[in-house]
Structure 1
C-alpha cells in the first residue's frame, strides 16, 4: 500500500462571529496577510535604524515615513493582488460579473498582481518623497519572504493550490472532490504538497539569502541587488514548483490536461511560469546592473 499522509483536520476559519444575522470570520489566509505585514514592518525598522548598512551611511527614510509606506504597500497588495487575479486568471468571468471584482472576501488573489501593486505603490511613494527607487525597493524586497511563508502555509491549511498526483511518501490526501479527481488513479488520490514546497523555497530559503546579503555582504550599498535577487529567486522557485503544482482549473481542457496557458505540440508553460519569466529576467538585470555600478564607483 502506498505510504501517504492524510490531510490534518483543520478549518480555514479561526473563529466566526455572528452580528445582526451576518457571519464575520477571521480566516488563516487573512491572518497570514496581517502577520506577514507586521513582520515586514519590524524587519524594515531594524534595517533603517542601522545607517551604516546603506549608501552614504544614511538610511533611505525615517520611522514616520516607513509607517506611511506600510499603508501604501497594504493598498498595493490588496488592489494589485485582486486585479491581478481578475486579469491573469479569470478575465472572462469577471467581465460578465464586474460587481464580484470587489468581493475579495470570496477569495481570489494573485501574487504577481500583488507584487505589481507593491511596485507601483513603492514607485509613487519614492517619487513623492525623493527617495531612490532602487534603495526603497531593496528595503521592501528583503521584508517580503516571511509573508510568503505564512501565505503558503495558509494555502495548505485551506487545502487549496495543491500539487499534481504523486506517490512520494510525503504526498498528501487533500479533501474535496476536486482534489480527488485524478485521472488514472484508483482509490484515494495523494498529491504533492506544493504549497509547502513554495513555503520552503520562497519563504525560508529566499528569506535567509536576502538577510545574509543585507547584513553580511553589504548588499544595501549596491542599490538594486537585493530587489533583483528577490525577483530572480522568487521567479525561479515558482517556475520550478509549477512543474509539480496542479494547474488552475480554467486552463484545463480535454486537449490540454496539464492546464498549460501556452503550449505547442504538448509542450508549454503554465500561467505561473509565464508570469515568473519576466521576474527572473528583471531580477538578473538588476543584479548585473548593481554589480556594474558598484565596480564603476570610485574607490
Structure 2
C-alpha cells in the first residue's frame, strides 16, 4: 500500500463564483514572471538594456500562447477546429502544443532581433532557452495538477492513480450526489484487500435521502456506471464491489472498494527534466558567457528538451485517436527535426569556436 499515490486535487485554488483561479493558470503566469526576472539579470550582466527585456517579455507571451494554440489546432485536431474556427479562440478549454509554442517563439525572437540591431538571433536564442526550460517545468507541473497528459499504466513503485476524472464523472451523474472523493484504502474491519493497489471511492449523498434508496441506487445504477471505460482506465471496481455505508448529519455516504490503476506521472518526468536542464543551461551561461560560441546553449536545449520528449512519449497516453495508427505519435514526429537541429547548432558552434581560436 506504500507503492502508489492516489492523486486527485481540485484544479482550482479558489472558486470566485463567476470564475475560478486555477493552478495551471497561476503556474503558467509564474513561469513568465520568473523568466522575466532571470532575463533582467542576464541582460544586466551582459551590458544590455533592461528595457529591452520588457519588450522581449511581451513578444514571448504572445508568441507562446498563439504558437501553442495554433500548434494544437494544426497538429492534433485540424478537422475539429477548421469546421468551427471560433473555437480556436477558446484557449480556456485547453489545447496547447509545446511544439507550436516553440515555432511561435522562434518567429517572435527573429522579429525581436530585427528590431534591436545589437542583439543577434543566435545570441537571444541561447539566452531565452534558459528561461524556457524553467517555464516548461512550471507548465508541466500545472499539467500534473490538472491530471492531464497522463502516462501509461505501470507497476513501478512510483505509479500514480489519477482519480479526478472518476470523481468528476460521478459527481455529475446524479443531483443527489453532493461530494465524491477517491483515495488510498485505509484499513477497515471486514474488508478483505485482495487488490495490489486498493482504493476507496466515497460518495456522499445530500441530506434527506433515505438510506434504502441510496443503497438501491448505489448497488444498481452506480455500480453499472463504474464499468464505463472512462472509469476503468483509472480504477476497477468489479460488477459486485464491496460497499460500506455510513450516516452522519442526515447524509449517507457509500464507500466502494476497488483497484486503482497506477500510471506513469509523465508530466513530472518532463517537469523535473526541464528543471535540471534549466540548471545546466544557466550554469554554462554563467561560467562561459564571454567565450561561448553562439548556438551552443540553443543546441543543448533542443537535444535535451525534445530528445527526452521523444522517449517520454513511449510512456504517455496518445492525445488524439489518429495517433493510434502511427508508428510514432505526433509529439515524437515533431521532436525529431528539433533534435536534429540541436545537433546541427552544436556542431556549428564548435566550428565557430575553433575558427575563433585559430
TM-score in terms of structure 1 length? 0.85
Alignment of 1:26 with 2:97, yes or no, is: no
- List aligned pairs for 1:88-167, cutoff 5 A: 88-130=75-117, 131-167=119-155
Return the offset for 1:225.
0.7
Secondary structure at the counterpart of residue 168 of structure 1: coil
Return the offset for 1:188.
2.5
Structure 1 counterpart of 2:64: 77
Structure 1 counterpart of 2:270: 198
Structure 1 counterpart of 2:334: 275
Alignment of 1:286 with 2:310, yes or no, is: no
1:216-258 alpha-carbon deviations (Å, 9 max, x no partner):
2447731111111111110111011111111113235xxxxxx
* Residue from 224, 234, 246 that aligns with 2:317: 246
CA distance in 1, matches of 2:79, 2:235: 27
Return the offset for 1:24.
2.2
Structure 2 counterpart of 1:226: 297
CA distance in 2, matches of 1:42, 1:179: 43
Secondary structure at the counterpart of residue 154 of structure 2: coil
Question: Quick check: 1:222–1:290 contact (8 Å CA) kept in 2?
Answer: yes
Structure 2 stretches lacking a partner, 5+ long = 167-229, 239-258
Structure 2 counterpart of 1:56: none
Structure 1 counterpart of 2:233: 181
Structure 2 counterpart of 1:43: 38
Question: Quick check: 1:174–1:180 contact (8 Å CA) kept in 2?
Answer: no
CA distance in 1, matches of 2:316, 2:332: 11
CA distance in 1, matches of 2:305, 2:128: 14
Question: Quick check: 1:135–1:220 contact (8 Å CA) kept in 2?
Answer: no
**For residues 123 and 229 of structure 1, do their structure 2 counterparts lie closer, same or farther at Cα, with a shift above 3 Å needed?**
same
Secondary structure at the counterpart of residue 36 of structure 1: helix
Q: Which moved more, 1:173-182 or 1:65-74?
A: 173-182
* Greater share of strand: 2
CA distance in 2, matches of 1:88, 1:185: 36
CA distance in 2, matches of 1:226, 1:179: 44
1:205-225 alpha-carbon deviations (Å, 9 max, x no partner):
211111121112447731111
Alignment of 1:15 with 2:74, yes or no, is: no
Aligned residues: 273
Structure 2 counterpart of 1:255: none
Structure 1 stretches lacking a partner, 5+ long = 52-58, 253-258, 263-267
Please provide the CA RMSD for this pair. 2.2
Structure showing greater radius of gyration is 2
Secondary structure at the counterpart of residue 138 of structure 2: helix
Q: Which moved more, 1:240-249 or 1:86-95?
A: 240-249
CA distance in 1, matches of 2:343, 2:237: 41
TM-score in terms of structure 2 length? 0.72
1:15-64 alpha-carbon deviations (Å, 9 max, x no partner):
2323xxxx22221111111110111111111112213xxxxxxx4x4111
Secondary structure at the counterpart of residue 131 of structure 2: coil
CA distance in 2, matches of 1:40, 1:88: 27
CA distance in 1, matches of 2:141, 2:283: 23
Runs of 4+ in 1 over 4 A off after TM superposition: 182-186
